[in-house]
Amino acid sequence: MAIYHLSVKIHSRSAGMSAVAGAAYRAGADLVDERTGETHDYTRRGAVDHTEILAPDDAPSWVQDRGRLWNEVEAAETRKNSQVAREIVVALPKELEAGAQRHLVRGFVSEQCVSRGMVADVAYHDVGSGNPHAHVLLTTRRIDPDGFAGKDRSWNDRGVVEDWRREWAEHANRSLARAQVMDRIDHRSLASQRQDALQRGDAAAAAALDRPAGVHLGRARHQEVRTGLPAARVSRALEASEARTSHTRRLGHHREHRSPATQSMDALAREAVRAGRDALYGKSEQRGPSGLQRISTFDRELRQAIERAAAALRECVRELRHEVDRVARWLREMQERQREAEARRQREAEAQRQREAEAQRQREAEAQRQREARDRDGGPTRWYDRDRDVGPSR
């Protein structure tokens, strides 16, 4: 069944966000932030099926270079609270093939964003799984042949987001119709759809729409639904995979240093996840044969809330770990620079001492030559006259 999802958010420096880091993460790329000197390497992350950059026809050719594009975005912003990017996340209809999904996103982004003067960096994630979606990272400044121009404040209007939500539903429904899929999506809330059905006199549709809105499942719960395994087993498998990756890195396959503080945060996160899992499902000896207890609606909502909190905690820990590693790398670089500067000063001082010693040796040699010359010319002198001998008296 096709589902509707479109969300929009702003990437701002005041929230500690970077356009370069965001683009690298979503595209699974290795980018260097020239403003901070930090390297964002996400080439090892999976689930990135395809990436592309869409831009106006008169945009400079360098916008197709992801690294330069987002570094130019960062360079154009001078305030510490600048909004550096805007992101749209859309759920792709599973009923469409990958090519049709990309055609759908290109049409929507070109019509609604690129036509306004934005540059769009699109990344398609999890296309082969049960949660296909696309991240569209947009510039906040208009692009022209000379580069980035001023900001168009009308892009921040709430009406623009409402237009995007409506247009995405229309674009998706047209794609579903071309693929001869009966399902359709609607950008309106369930309450609005139900009210519209009642006004049309469609009681059956109104009754079907009289239900609570869906809740975002999160990674572990989504894997549970997709694989049929209990979320606890999925969480343990994910944790084991992450632990193996960390162990491999510590063995030297990954050269980044992991500080004790980082490892402590990892332990804290694992302890929090373990405590939350035990609170949800009971301890291992208390669980039923299926691995999941029968729980009430309230307990299910509580479980979902705790799962979301655990996912947020893991994301926070990942960000903190990344920040600690970045600071550690910066400290190592500063120490290396200080050692190089000290070695350079010592070399220069030694060269200066050698020059002074050589100059002193030259001065002493010159003084010695002058003394020897005076000694040669300083003996008795005999004078002779052509007519008479005027020499020393006998």
Give the model confidence (pLDDT) of 281-308 as tens digits.
554 444 443 444 444 555 667 777 888 8
Tokens at 202, concatenated? 């469609």
For 248-279, the pLDDT digits (tens) are 444 443 334 444 444 455 555 556 656 655 55
Which DSSP state fits 294?
-
pLDDT at 178 over 90: yes
> In total, how many domains does the chain have?
3
Write down the residue that tokens 């360098």 correspond to: 62
Instruction: Give the whole-angstrom CA distance, residue 302 versus residue 140.
Output: 38
Is 45 found in the same domain as 152?
Answer: yes
Residues 96, 147: contact at Cβ < 8 Å? Answer: no
Residues 215, 300: contact at Cβ < 8 Å? Answer: no
How far CA 394 is from CA of 230, 379, 389, 390, 391, in Å, comes to 133, 18, 12, 11, 9
| Strand partners of residue 135 | 89, 123
Highest mean predicted confidence (pLDDT) among 75-84, 104-113, 218-227, 367-376: 104-113
Residues 176, 183: contact at Cβ < 8 Å? Answer: yes
Is 343 found in the same domain as 267?
Answer: yes
Is 118 found in the same domain as 233?
Answer: no
What pLDDT score was predicted for residue 244? 54
Is 346 found in the same domain as 221?
Answer: yes
Residue ranges making up the domain that contains 192: 188-214
pLDDT at 20 over 90: yes
For 122-162, the pLDDT digits (tens) are 999 988 777 899 999 999 999 999 999 989 889 999 999 99
What's the number of CA atoms in the CB half-sphere (13 Å) around residue 326?
A: 15
Averaged pLDDT of the chain? 80
CATH number at residue 48: 3.30.930.30
What pLDDT score was predicted for residue 318? 86
Q: What are phi and psi of 54, to 5 degrees?
A: -110, 135
Average pLDDT over residues 360-388: 74
What pLDDT score was predicted for residue 264? 52
| Residue 381 Rama label (left phi>0; alpha psi -120 to 50; beta) | beta
What pLDDT score was predicted for residue 386? 52
Is 204 found in the same domain as 159?
Answer: no
**Residue 371, domain member (yes or no):** no
**Residue 66, domain member (yes or no):** yes
Is 283 found in the same domain as 259?
Answer: yes
Is 155 found in the same domain as 235?
Answer: no
pLDDT bracket for residue 33 (50, 70, 90) = very high
Is 171 found in the same domain as 27?
Answer: yes
For 193-247, the pLDDT digits (tens) are 778 777 888 777 777 767 776 655 555 555 555 555 555 555 555 555 555 555 4
Measured at the CA of 383, the angle between CA 378 and CA 389, to 5 degrees, comes to 150
**Residue 372, domain member (yes or no):** no
How far CA 306 is from CA of 20, 218, 312, 313, in Å, comes to 31, 10, 10, 10
Helices (H), the chain: 19-27, 66-76, 98-112, 158-178, 190-200, 203-209, 219-227, 231-248, 260-281, 297-377
What pLDDT score was predicted for residue 294? 41
Is 270 found in the same domain as 358?
Answer: yes
**Residue 11, domain member (yes or no):** yes
Give 324 or 46, the one with higher predicted confidence: 324
Of the three residues 164, 183, 202, the one that is the final residue of a domain is: 183
Is 242 found in the same domain as 325?
Answer: yes
pTM here is 0.56
**Residue 318, domain member (yes or no):** yes
Is 160 found in the same domain as 53?
Answer: yes
| Rounded (10°) CA dihedral 249, 250, 252, 253 | -10
Measured at the CA of 18, the angle between CA 260 and CA 70, to 5 degrees, comes to 130
**Residue 204, domain member (yes or no):** yes
How far CA 186 is from CA of 3, 134, 178, in Å, comes to 8, 18, 17
How far CA 92 is from CA of 5, 209, 214, in Å, comes to 8, 22, 17
Give 14 or 392, the one with higher predicted confidence: 14
Tokens at 4, concatenated? 């509707």
**Residue 276, domain member (yes or no):** yes
For 322-356, the pLDDT digits (tens) are 889 889 999 999 999 999 999 999 999 999 999 99
**Residue 206, domain member (yes or no):** yes
pLDDT at 390 over 80: no
Is 210 found in the same domain as 96?
Answer: no
